[in-house]
Each structure stands twice: as C-alpha cells, then as structure tokens.
C-alpha cells in the first residue's frame, strides 16, 4: 500500500488525458464514465490510505529527482499523513459525487465540449491531489497553480461569453497575486532553511525563537498566497464572479476543495504559524473581517449562486479565524463539514437552476417546495447545517472555532457570533425565498418544473446525510468526554504546535454558556428570516441595502485604483516611452546621419578648384590651432 | 568531427537549395528538410554520447586547425555542456523552421532556404567557436542572411524593420570587434604571442580600466542581441515583420546568442569588471522584465505582442547571470531553452493564424477556438508556459533564476516576480482576444485535421476561413509541446549536462 500513493493522482491524470485527447471521438456517456470512474478509483485508494494512516503511520513516496542543484534538492515526492488523508477523502469523495452529478447536469452540452468539461474537471482533481500530497512546498506550489489554471478553464468553460472570460481571467490573476507571495515565501525558505521539504523546514523552524523575523515574513507571504486561493480580503472579489462557471464546478472548486487550499497550507505549516504570533493575529483579523464583510454582502444578493458564493467567502473567513487563534483542528474540521454542506447547497442550487431553465434570480422563484421535494429537503438540511444549529455538522465545527476565538480574544468571539447570526439570516432568507411562498416565475417555467434525475438527487441525498452526521466525529469535551475522534486522529500533525503554544483553557461552564448564546442567536435569526421571507419577498434594496447589494463597491474601487492605472501605464509606455522616446531617438540618430551626409555632399563636388580651396583652408586652420596650442 | 559536419551540412545544404532553384523547385524544400533533420540526428547522437557533461575543466570536443596563420586566426571549435544543449535547441528549431516555411514561402524559394540554413550555420558556429575571430565571423554569418530573410520575405514594413535590425546588431558587432582586437593586442604586449584563441585569452591580465572598456564592447553587442531595455527597439519590428520561420529563429535562437555570449565570454573574461556592474545589470534585467510586460499588454499586433513578451523574459537572463549563483546559472540555461521553445511555438502559431486570416491584429481575431479547437488547446498550453505555470519548462527556468537572485538581491527579485503576475495578465488577455469570446470570422472546419480528408489547407477559396491544424502544423506544435512539458517535468538531465560548465563559472566569479 505504501508504494501506491502515486496511483491516487494518476487516475485523474489518465482521465484527463483520455478525455482531452479523444474529446472529438468519445460519446458522452463514455467520457462521463471515464471522468467519474477515475475519481471513484482514486477515492477507493484514498480510503485504503486512510485506514493505513489511521494507525499513526506517515507514508512517504519519492518518485524522482525533480530539481537538484548544489545544496538544494527538490524531489518529486508524496507524503500522506493524517492531514493530507482527510483532504484526500474530501477531494475524491465529494469530487466523485460532483462528477456523477455533472453527467446529468451537463447533458445539454455537445460531445466534444462534454469531454472537455470532464477533462478539465479531472485535471483539477489531479492538481488538487498534487497540492495535498506533495511532501515539499514546490510540489504543493505545482498543484497550487494547477488548480488555479483549472479554475480559470472551468469558469471560462463557456468561452464564447466574454463576461465569463473576464471572470475567469480575474480569478486567475487574483490568484496569481497570491501565488506571488507564495513564491517569495519559497525563495525565503530556501535561503533560511536550505530546503523546501516539509520535514526539514518544520524541524528547523521549530528550533527558532518565537517571533523570529524570517518566520513572520515567510508566514505572512504564505498567507498572502492563501488570501488569493481562499478568497480573503483583499483578494476575495474573484470568487463571487467565479460563479460564471457551471454550477457543479462552483460546488467542487469554489466551495468544497480548491478554496480550502489556503487552510490546508497553513494547517500544514502550523509549526511556523504558532511561532509567528504577529502573523497569527493578522490571519485571525483578516479572517474575521472577511467573514463579516462577506456575510453583510450575502444579506442583499438576489442571485442564488451569489448568496452561496459570499457565504463561502464568509465561511472561509471562519476557518482562518480558527487558524489564527491556533484552533487548527477546528479549522480543518470546518473545512470538512463545509465541504459537505456547501457542496450540498451548490448542487441543490444547481438542481433548482436546472429545473428553472437557467434562472438564477431568487426573486423569480418561490414555492419550489412542492415541485422539487428531494432538492427542497436536502437544501433545508444544508441550511440548518451551515447556520450552526445542533445536532447538524456545522454547529460542531463552528463552535470549536468560536471557542478557540474566545480563549484568545473575547471580541473575536463576539464578532464571530454576529457573523454566525447573519449566516443564519441570509441562508434562511435564501431558503424561504426560493422554496416557500408562491411561485413567481413565468407560467411556462412552472409548467416545466420537475424534480431532477437520479444522478442529481443521489449526490444530494448522500451529501445531506453527511451534512447531518458529519459533525459527530468532533463532539466537544463538554458534551461528551473523549468523543472528539477527529482531534485524536489529527493529533500527530499538530503535536508540535500544541507543545509550543501556551494552552488557554476555558471552563466547561463558560463553554456551555458560549455555545448556548451562539446557538440561540442563530436560531432566532433563522426563525425570523424564515417567517419574514416566506410571507413577503424583498424585491429591491433601498438605502444602505443598495450599498450591500453592490458589494460595498469594492470591485469599482479596484477597477479605479488598480486595473485602469495599470492599463493606462501600459498605454503610456507604449505611446510615450517606446514610440516618442526610444524610437524617436533611434530614428533621430538615423536621420541625423542621413542629414549630415547630405550636408557633406557639397564637399565631394568633383571640382579640383574647390578641393584645393578646402585643402588650403584646412591647412590654415591647422596652423592657427598649432600656433595657439604652442603658446 | 561532428561539429564540422553539422556546420558543413548547413552551409552545403544552403548552397544546394540555392542551386536547386535552377534545376527543380520541388527539391528545394526537401533538401532543406533533409539537411535540418540530418543535423538534428547528428546533434541528438552527440547529446546521447555527451549528455553527462564533461569532467571539470575539460571539453567534450576540442578541435583546432590553422585558418589564417598570418593573422594567427585559428579554426577552433569546442563543445561543452552549455554548447551541447544550445546546439540541440538549434537543430530542433531548425527542423521546425523549415517545416514552418513549407507553404508560406512562394517566391525565390531557393534563395530563401539558402538564407535560412546559413543563418542556422552561423548560429551553430557561434555556439561552438572558441577562437574570437572565428566567433566574430560566425556572428556575421548569422546576421546577414537573417537581414535578407526579413528584407525579402517580410511583411509590409520589412524595409524599415530589416535596416533597424541590421544596423543595431551591426553596431554592436563592430564594438565587439574592437574589443576583440584590443584583447588581441594587449595579449601580445603582455606575452609576445599573437592569438585570438579564447582558451589562451582567458588567462590575460588586464588593468581595471582596460577590462572595463573592453568588456563594454562585448557587453553592448550581447545586450543588443538579448535584448536588454533600452536596446530592444529593433526587436518588435524585426519579429513582427519577419516571415514565420524568421521570427521563430530570431526569438528562439538569435536572442540566445546574446545570452550565450554573456555567459561564455563576458563573465569569463572579465570576472572583476562583471562583479562591478552586477547590481546594475540585474537592475537593467528587472526593468526589462517589467517594461516588456507592460508593453506586451498594450499591443494589438499579435506578433508584436509576442516580441514584447520576449523582452520581458529575456530580462530574467540578465538578472540570473549577474547574480552569480549556481541555481541562477542553471535557470538561465533553462530559460534559453524553454523560451526558445515556447516563444518559437507562439510565433509559429501567429504565422499559422496569419496564413488563415491574413492579419496580425488581435482585434480582428476572437473566438478562434470554435473553429480551431486543436490549435486553441495548444495555444493555451504555450500561453501557460509563457506565464510560467509549473509543469512547463519556463517555470523551472524562472524559478531557479529567482531563487538564485533572491539570495543576492531580494528587492530586485521581488520586483522581478511581479513580472510573473504581469505575465498572467498579458497571456490571458491574448488568449481571450484571439481564441475566446464570440466568433468574429467564419470557420470552415470545426473538426481537427484528422477528419478533414478532402479539405486541405491553402486551397484557393479558403481565403479568410478558419480551419484547424494540418498534419504538418500539428507535428510542429505537438513536438514543441512535448518538449516544453518534458523540460518542465524532468529538468534534471539538462541541469546535469551543464553542471560542470556552471561549476567553473561559479569558480571564476566567486571573489
């Protein structure tokens, strides 16, 4: 088993190659089968690996020498430990469900494009697996950029639409800005540690003093990478636009897996972060700010996918809060539960959009409860889970993060709870507007309303079950002693950090009180939103709502202060510096020579008389000069 | 002997092509192709034999005969790991250049292939000449035919472009000649020995001032060729006006002779003086990276756009060489190879698009993916290579250069890394304007070449219709794709080949 790690990414790679190369020749059901089958095989192997590492093993496999120059050696090597194993299961498990779902959702596409879609999707899974399997930062970076590419390709999958292309481009470039930070962090790492291998870097980092400048710098730069990939302030604006891609893509890449890469990276480097308290504070504050900002925007969105997108940004913010306060297990826990319920919600939204014939505005929906019974009930489970209402999964993971926040700074907790209330509010607003009340679409749409086929509902049901029970692997100490299976499982990964950081302990009574407050808050918000929006649909935003609907005008701001100036500078260089300065000089010198030689032409007139005259004049000048110089 | 064979085959092949013009015009292309393929085979065999590089201080091949004894000029050619990988690139792109011209060139075909092969001969010579006069000779051999290629078979503004190219490079070349002569005479004054031999001149002792001026002569020639900002202004014109194969050779090989010259001669002959200017040279490199990128996204002409991306990528060479770090040197070698391949591919594609649409304006393109999914996919691959996506060779190159440079000057390296963000900006913009978006031109064949059967490229009424790649075009692009991916996944063999060369450069340049 230990030497089979490479098989996990291999199958998606083969799937990509088959679908990519033979996209013109494969019938649709075959390319769907290849695409989904590859991921299923990977999932099976991942389960086997999981059983292996459950016993505390760490599997290492070196494939070949990737780069080896002087002291630096970067092997192409994989490492499976408890952390990567969790991610493997999420990526291949949720990934498979979404592939299955896609076979039905994308059935309108023509065969070559259908195959192209699955090729991209498999390439994505391959890159994502590289990202979590790599045993050094360079391999991680390869996967990191690879998922960015696939995200770009899939957002712009319908490439004839220019606004989709712009969204794709925006995603790639904002990610690139983050990757820039990641890259510099790698350079710095090589300078300080002489290696990028996790084992070397972390063991050397552990010997450094708390707050060492290099550690703070490296962790901040890595975090810049994370803000790009995981859509945090200031690089979050690409994610809502990324909803231009097909809905299963939004579920897989822009909710369940790729956007959690930043959390994986920081959890992976937890030793360095624990030793850099400044960075931790920055991570926590950025996470908190993002969580709140995105939640406020989600309150006033009308596009079903946009609400979910901002909700994703907001939930990712919570995960960063967890990382920032040192609740690493909680952050990873939330990645997992979020993967379940957010994938569920997106796929549910996809089912709705599918039934509504590509309608995404919730103002034109309503009353879908009776037409889409399975979608409705699973969506409701997703909403309860994300709102953090026990005993569904979201409650456990969010609670763990909030408890961690309280132990570091009580204000973090207060803000976190406010955000959690907003989450409950906008989710139930979404639920009520979509599924309750009266149908507000066209009669034609109503006529065509029907529940989606099995390939769509089966993933929904499985994800709904997972969203329901997924939290039970992390039951907090106060409720049931010694029942936090996930914490035990991940303990080896975070052992060093737990050793290094001073433990903040919360009294059990306090923790119970905090839990009650946050659950009560979420419940109240959910119930009010449910009642309010099932009676009356809000059609238009007024006053401050307008600002929220327009996302605080951040896109406009970025456009004004970054995008436009950049293009203007390019144009300026092209016109002023290149044409009017450099080329002017070059052509000017040419013209000067030309002009000069034309002026000299009269000297070569061919008349002996003038030659003699010139000669005499020249000699005269020479003598005069000679005379003066001598003096 | 292999080296002589390679050069001789290019020269002789060129002459044969020219001669064949008066005998049988169909023969010409085949002669050129056979010559190019034969050389690829020869270089390939040499690579198989010598790929592990030489022992330190040793040469894989070292061949000398007297050429013009009265002036102490020798025909001295030698091969080490650096020359070897560059020869491989030359031979590889040589074959593709011939294939690129297959349908494009319809006038004075014989003379065209004569010039093409002679340019390649000159480039090959430049990479192996170890006698400075011989080096200068090959330098000229490569420039003059290239001038003809642009001036005769170029686009509408070819006269201006070819003059500019010629005058720029010639000015640099003459300065280099002055420097070579200076070395020649100073060496004689020192040792009483007349020689142009690079091996002997390496041991020359120069005063700081002498070294500074002589180095400058070499350096100007090489940075014009590279090109470094602000000496780059010949490049966009030459690249965009040249025929496809001309652009391919210019970007893929000619620019590399500048980089090669700096590595081989400038920093080897003048280590102290190079150390003096190192910071400035790195700065110029970084300016080139940013400036080239900025200009790239202000372009509307597809070939001009690619030309400016070259300016940007070549900035990495200066940054890498003048950091004097092992990793950076390795990165520079990788950059020469991978930039040659990826930019060559982009130019080849620009040529193919031009054959179909008769335009270089990106504004007149758009939505080409629909009609040419095959080319679209490959273009995407090379756009990604050009923006430095991992798994492609260019990433390895730029990564190694930046790692090396970071140790020396973090600030400049950080600015240079911003170039990677800009690279994403301009590459994606190109993809969007050319291949994505709504279709602006009618496409005749949405299926790839394998299904066309009866419809062949170049038929009379295909004027401005879009059809996907022909088998020939597919061969060109797929071989480049395979090369760039292999270099991205397995860069180590190249690094091993140049290891001893890099080691000796490091030794020379460590104070």
Q: Does B298 touch chain A (CB under 8 A)?
A: yes
| Structure confidence at residue B383 (pLDDT) | 94
| Structure confidence at residue B459 (pLDDT) | 40
Task: Give per-residue pLDDT as tens, A279-297.
Answer: 999 999 999 999 999 999 9
For B178, B326, B338, the CA distances from B401, given in Å and listed in that order, are: 32, 9, 13
CA distance A251 to A350: 9
pLDDT band at B413 (very low <50, low <70, confident <90, very high): very high
| Structure confidence at residue B57 (pLDDT) | 66
Domain boundaries, position B463? 277-511
CB atoms inside a 10 Å sphere around CB B432: 20
CB contact under 8 Å between A149 and B389, yes or no, is yes
Task: Give per-residue pLDDT as tens, A18-73.
Answer: 999 998 889 998 999 999 999 999 999 999 999 988 887 889 999 999 999 988 99
Residue that the structure tokens 């030698």 belong to: B78
For the residues A164-181, what does the mean pLDDT come to? 93
Q: Does A24 touch chain B (CB under 8 A)?
A: yes
| Structure confidence at residue A434 (pLDDT) | 92
Which residue of B233, B326, B402 is in closest CB contact with A582?
Answer: B233
> What is the rounded average pLDDT for all residues in chain B?
89
Instruction: Collect contacts of A412-419 with beta carbons under 8 A, ≥24 apart.
Output: A412/A284, A412/A288, A412/A321, A412/A325, A413/A514, A415/A288, A415/A291, A415/A292, A416/A288, A416/A291, A416/A318, A416/A321, A416/A518, A417/A517, A417/A518, A417/A521, A418/A292, A419/A288, A419/A291, A419/A292, A419/A295, A419/A314, A419/A317, A419/A318
Q: What predicted TM-score, i.e. pTM, was given to this entire model?
A: 0.92
For residue B54, is pLDDT > 70? no
Task: Give per-residue pLDDT as tens, A204-246.
Answer: 999 999 889 999 999 999 999 999 999 999 999 999 999 999 9
Q: Report which of A134, A99, A76, A137 is spatially closest to residue A19, judged by C-alpha positions.
A: A99
| Structure confidence at residue B456 (pLDDT) | 41
Task: Give per-residue pLDDT as tens, A430-449.
Answer: 999 999 988 888 888 888 88
Q: Which of A24, A62, A69, A194 to mutate to test the interface with B (most CBs of B within 10 A)?
A: A69
Per the structure block, which two tokens stand in for A325? 């306060």
CB atoms inside a 10 Å sphere around CB A445: 16
Compute the nearest-CA separation of B139 from chain A (Å): 23
Compute the nearest-CA separation of A179 from chain B (Å): 9
pLDDT band at A127 (very low <50, low <70, confident <90, very high): very high
Is the same domain home to B9 and B116? Answer: yes
For residue B443, is pLDDT > 80? no
Percent of chain B surpassing pLDDT 70: 94
Is the same domain home to B171 and B319? Answer: no
Range with lowest mean pLDDT among A279-288, A333-342, A424-433, B50-59: B50-59
Q: Which of A183, A214, A569, A587 to mutate to test the interface with B (most CBs of B within 10 A)?
A: A183
Task: Give per-residue pLDDT as tens, A316-334.
Answer: 999 999 999 999 999 999 9
Residue B342 or A562, more confident: B342
Compute the nearest-CA separation of B156 from chain A (Å): 18
CA distance B501 to B511: 18
Which A residues in the span 564-623 are in contact with B, Cβ-Cβ below 8 Å? Answer: 566-567, 569-571, 573-574, 577-578, 582-583, 586, 590
pLDDT band at B388 (very low <50, low <70, confident <90, very high): very high
Residues of A in contact with B407 (CB under 8 A): 191
Q: Does A172 touch chain B (CB under 8 A)?
A: yes
CB contact under 8 Å between A183 and B447, yes or no, is no
Compute the nearest-CA separation of B319 from chain A (Å): 15
Q: Does B452 touch chain A (CB under 8 A)?
A: no
Per the structure block, which two tokens stand in for B312? 């940007």
DSSP E strands in A340-475: the ranges are none
Task: Give per-residue pLDDT as tens, A498-537.
Answer: 888 766 678 888 889 999 999 999 999 999 999 998 887 7
Q: Report which of B261, B277, B336 is spatially closest to residue B487, judged by C-alpha positions.
A: B336
Which residue of B298, B420, B438 is in closest CB contact with A180?
Answer: B420
Which B residues in the span 309-368 are in contact with A, Cβ-Cβ below 8 Å? Answer: 326-327, 330, 367
| Structure confidence at residue B452 (pLDDT) | 39
Which A residues in the span 82-121 are in contact with B, Cβ-Cβ below 8 Å? Answer: 112
Per the structure block, which two tokens stand in for A380? 């409701």
Q: Does A66 touch chain B (CB under 8 A)?
A: yes
CB contact under 8 Å between B438 and A162, yes or no, is yes
For residue B491, is pLDDT > 50? yes
CB contact under 8 Å between B298 and A152, yes or no, is no
Q: Would you say how long chain B is, in residues?
A: 511
Q: Does B390 touch chain A (CB under 8 A)?
A: yes
The domain tally of chain B equals 2
Percent of chain B surpassing pLDDT 90: 72
Task: Give per-residue pLDDT as tens, B127-155.
Answer: 999 999 999 999 999 999 999 999 999 98
Q: Which of B298, B412, B445 to mutate to test the interface with A (most CBs of A within 10 A)?
A: B298
Q: Does A496 touch chain B (CB under 8 A)?
A: no
Let me know: does B466 contact B368? Beta carbons within 8 Å. Answer: yes
Compute the nearest-CA separation of A593 from chain B (Å): 12
Domain boundary among B241, B271, B301: B271
Per the structure block, which two tokens stand in for A151? 């995200």
Q: Does A559 touch chain B (CB under 8 A)?
A: no
Task: Give per-residue pLDDT as tens, B62-83.
Answer: 889 998 888 889 999 999 899 9
For the residues B192-197, what does the mean pLDDT come to? 90
Is the same domain home to B195 and B339? Answer: no
Q: Does A217 touch chain B (CB under 8 A)?
A: no
Compute the nearest-CA separation of B272 from chain A (Å): 24
Q: Does B428 touch chain A (CB under 8 A)?
A: yes
CA distance A21 to A12: 14
For residue A120, is pLDDT > 60? yes
Let me know: does A420 contact A397? Beta carbons within 8 Å. Answer: no
Domain boundary among B271, B303, B325: B271
Compute the nearest-CA separation of B68 from chain A (Å): 35
CA distance A179 to B497: 31
Helix (H, G, I), strand (E, B) or coil at A80: strand
CA distance A469 to A464: 9
Burial class, B511, CB count within 10 angstroms (exposed 0-12 / middle 13-18 / buried 19+) = exposed
Determine if residue A419 is left, alpha or beta; phi over 0 gives left, psi from -120 to 50 gives alpha, anything else beta: alpha
Residues of B in contact with A224 (CB under 8 A): none
Residue that the structure tokens 């997703």 belong to: A382
Domain boundary among B271, B287, B320: B271
| Structure confidence at residue A82 (pLDDT) | 92
| Structure confidence at residue A478 (pLDDT) | 81
With a CB cutoff of 8 Å and minimum separation 6, the contacts of A605 are none
Residue A56 or A264, more confident: A264
CB contact under 8 Å between A173 and B327, yes or no, is no
For the residues B394-417, what does the mean pLDDT come to? 95
| Sequence spans of domains, chain A | 1-135, 136-476+483-549, 559-628
Residue B97 or A591, more confident: B97
């Amino acid at each position: 088993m230990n030497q089979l790690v490479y098989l996990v990414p291999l199958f998606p790679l083969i799937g990509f190659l088959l679908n990519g190369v033979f996209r013109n020749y494969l019938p649709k059901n075959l390319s769907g089968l290849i695409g989904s089958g590859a991921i299923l095989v990977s999932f099976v192997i991942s389960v086997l690996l999981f059983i292996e590492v459950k016993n505390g093993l760490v599997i290492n496999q070196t494939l070949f020498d990737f780069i080896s120059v002087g002291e630096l050696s970067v092997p192409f090597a994989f490492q499976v430990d408890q952390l990567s194993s969790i991610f493997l299961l999420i990526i291949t498990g949720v990934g498979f469900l979404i592939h299955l779902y896609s076979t039905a959702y994308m059935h309108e596409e023509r065969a070559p494009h259908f195959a192209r879609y699955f090729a991209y999707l498999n390439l994505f899974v391959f890159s994502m697996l590289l990202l979590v399997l790599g045993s050094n930062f360079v391999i991680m970076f390869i996967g990191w950029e690879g998922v960015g590419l696939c995200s770009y390709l899939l957002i712009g999958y319908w490439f004839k639409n220019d606004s989709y292309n712009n969204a794709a481009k925006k995603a790639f470039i904002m990610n690139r800005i983050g990757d820039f930070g990641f890259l510099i962090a790698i350079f710095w790492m090589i300078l300080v540690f002489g290696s990028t291998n996790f084992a070397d870097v972390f063991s050397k980092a552990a010997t450094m003093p708390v707050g060492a400048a290099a550690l703070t710098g490296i962790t901040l730069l890595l975090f810049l990478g994370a803000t790009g990939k995981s859509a945090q302030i200031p690089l979050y604006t690409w994610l809502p636009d990324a909803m231009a891609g097909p809905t299963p893509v939004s579920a897989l890449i822009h909710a369940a897996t790729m956007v959690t890469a930043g959390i994986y990276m920081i959890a992976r480097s937890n030793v360095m972060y624990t030793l850099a308290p400044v960075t931790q504070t920055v991570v926590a504050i950025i996470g908190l700010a993002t969580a709140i900002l995105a939640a406020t925007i989600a309150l006033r969105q009308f596009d079903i996918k946009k609400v979910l997108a901002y909700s994703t940004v907001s939930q990712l913010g919570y995960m960063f809060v967890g990382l920032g306060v040192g609740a690493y297990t909680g952050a990873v826990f939330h990645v997992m539960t979020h993967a379940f319920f957010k994938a569920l919600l997106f796929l549910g939204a996809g089912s709705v959009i599918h039934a509504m014939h590509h309608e995404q505005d919730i103002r034109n929906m309503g009353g879908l409860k009776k037409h889409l019974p399975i979608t409705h009930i699973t969506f409701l489970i997703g909403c309860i889970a994300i709102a953090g209402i026990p005993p569904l999964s979201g409650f456990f993971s969010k609670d763990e993060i909030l408890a961690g926040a309280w132990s570091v700074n009580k204000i973090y907790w207060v803000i976190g709870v406010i955000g959690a209330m907003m989450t409950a509010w906008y989710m139930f607003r979404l639920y009520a507007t979509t599924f309750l009340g009266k149908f507000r679409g066209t009669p034609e749409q109503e006529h065509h309303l029907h529940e989606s086929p099995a390939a769509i509902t089966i993933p929904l049901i499985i994800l709904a079950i997972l969203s329901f029970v997924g939290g039970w692997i992390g039951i907090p100490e106060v409720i049931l002693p010694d029942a936090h299976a996930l914490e035990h499982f991940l303990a080896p990964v975070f052992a060093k950090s737990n050793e290094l950081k001073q433990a903040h302990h919360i009294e059990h009574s306090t923790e119970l009180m905090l839990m009650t407050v946050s659950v009560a808050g979420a419940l109240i918000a959910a119930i009010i939103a449910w009642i309010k929006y099932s009676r009356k649909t809000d059609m238009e935003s007024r006053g401050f709502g307008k600002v929220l609907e327009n996302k605080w005008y951040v896109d406009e701001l970025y456009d004004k202060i970054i995008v436009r100036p950049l293009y203007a500078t390019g144009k300026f260089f092209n016109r002023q510096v290149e044409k009017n300065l450099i080329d002017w000089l070059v052509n000017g010198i040419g013209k000067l020579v030309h002009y000069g030689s034309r002026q000299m032409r009269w000297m070569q007139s061919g008349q002996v008389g003038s030659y003699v005259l010139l000669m005499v004049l020249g000699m005269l000048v020479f003598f005069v000069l000679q005379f003066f110089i001598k003096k | 002997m292999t080296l002589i064979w390679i050069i001789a085959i290019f020269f002789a092949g060129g002459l044969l092509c020219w001669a064949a013009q008066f005998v049988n015009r169909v023969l010409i292309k085949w002669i050129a192709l056979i010559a190019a393929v034969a050389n690829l085979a020869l270089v390939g065999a040499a690579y198989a034999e010598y790929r592990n590089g030489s022992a330190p201080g040793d040469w894989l091949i070292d061949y000398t005969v007297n050429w013009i004894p009265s002036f102490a000029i020798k025909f001295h050619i030698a091969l080490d790991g650096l020359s070897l990988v560059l020869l491989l690139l030359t031979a590889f792109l040589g074959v593709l250049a011939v294939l690129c011209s297959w349908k494009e060139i319809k006038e004075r075909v014989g003379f065209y292939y004569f010039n093409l092969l002679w340019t390649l001969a000159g480039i090959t010579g430049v990479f192996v000449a170890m006698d400075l006069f011989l080096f200068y000779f090959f330098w000229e051999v490569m420039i003059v035919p290239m001038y003809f290629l642009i001036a005769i078979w170029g686009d509408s503004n070819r006269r201006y472009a070819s003059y500019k190219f010629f005058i720029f490079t010639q000015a640099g070349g003459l300065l280099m000649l002055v420097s070579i002569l200076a070395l020649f005479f100073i060496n004689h004054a020192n040792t009483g020995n007349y020689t142009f031999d690079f091996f002997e001149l390496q041991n020359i002792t120069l005063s700081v001032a002498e070294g500074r001026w002589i180095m400058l002569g070499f350096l100007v020639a090489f940075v014009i060729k590279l090109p470094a900002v602000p000496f780059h202004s010949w490049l966009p014109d030459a690249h965009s006006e040249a025929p496809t194969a001309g652009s391919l050779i210019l970007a893929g090989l000619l620019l590399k002779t500048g980089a090669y010259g700096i590595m081989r001669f400038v920093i080897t002959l003048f280590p102290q003086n190079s150390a003096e200017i190192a910071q400035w040279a790195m700065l110029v490199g970084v300016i080139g990276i940013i400036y080239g990128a900025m200009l790239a996204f202000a372009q509307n002409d597809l070939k001009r756009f690619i030309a400016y991306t070259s300016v940007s990528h070549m900035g990495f060479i200066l940054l890498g060489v003048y950091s004097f770090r092992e990793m950076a040197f390795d990165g520079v070698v990788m950059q020469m190879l991978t930039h040659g391949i990826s930019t060559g591919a982009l130019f080849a594609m620009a040529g193919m698009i031009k054959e179909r649409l008769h335009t270089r304006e990106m504004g007149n393109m758009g939505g080409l993916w629909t009609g040419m999914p095959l080319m679209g996919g490959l273009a995407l691959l090379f756009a990604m290579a050009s923006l430095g996506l991992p798994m492609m060779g260019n990433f390895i190159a730029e990564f190694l250069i930046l790692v090396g440079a970071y140790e020396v000057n973090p600030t400049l390296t950080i600015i240079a890394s911003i170039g990677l963000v800009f690279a994403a900006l301009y590459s994606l913009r190109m993809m969007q304007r050319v291949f994505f978006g709504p279709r602006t031109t009618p496409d005749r064949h949405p299926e790839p070449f394998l299904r066309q059967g009866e419809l062949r490229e170049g038929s009379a009424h295909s004027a401005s219709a879009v059809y996907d790649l022909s088998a020939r075009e597919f061969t060109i692009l797929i071989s480049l794709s395979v090369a760039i991916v292999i270099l991205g996944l397995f860069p180590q063999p190249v690094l091993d080949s140049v290891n001893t060369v890099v080691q000796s450069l490091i030794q020379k340049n460590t104070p």
